[in-house]
Amino acid sequence: MDYEINVDQAKSLLASANPPLLLDVREPWEYQTAHLANSTLIPMGEVPARAHQELDEDRHILVLCHHGARSLSVTSWLRQQGFEKSQSIAGGIDHWSRVIDPTIPLY
């Protein structure tokens, strides 16, 4: 399983009958500014303390941030912790807004 997927692949997975968990690792103010429906907010700095309590190691997890750097870093960390089905959404919510859903604000 690749560490990254593109927004088109993510959109298809999220629309499937058994969608992955969408993990948003941005800060609360960023989430309030723009976010995807049904996403779970755990800011990047809180992931190490919360991951094993709040995330399922066996579930497919898509990780989202602003441009894709934080989500890729969190994905790498999650994989090291045994969350083998975690993937970063390349380009982040910024790319999602530009390609998939222009109603989501850019910031």
Q: What is the pLDDT of residue 52?
A: 97
Q: Establish if 72 belongs to a structural domain.
A: yes
Would the pTM count as exceeding 0.85?
Answer: yes
Domain count along the chain? 1
Integer angstrom CA distances of residue 73 from 3, 16, 77, 99: 10, 26, 6, 23
Query: What per-residue confidence (pLDDT) applies to 71?
Result: 98
Residue matched to tokens 């912790």? 81
Structure confidence by residue, pLDDT tens digits, 47-100: 999 999 999 999 999 999 999 999 999 999 999 999 999 999 999 999 999 999
Average pLDDT over residues 6-10: 98
Q: What angle do CA 54, 60, 61 make, to 5 degrees?
A: 55
Give the active site residue among 23, 51, 65, 89.
Answer: 65
Which band of pLDDT confidence, cut at 50, 70 and 90, is reported for residue 38? very high
Q: Is 89 a catalytic residue?
A: no
Question: Is residue 79 a part of any domain in this protein?
Answer: yes
Task: Tell me if 38 sits within 8 A of 13, measured CB to CB.
Answer: no
Residue 14, domain extent: 4-99
Q: Say which CATH number the domain at 69 has.
A: 3.40.250.10
How far from 62 is each of 15, 26, 89, CA to CA, in Å? Answer: 13, 13, 7
Does 65 reside within a domain?
yes
Residue 85 belongs to a domain = yes
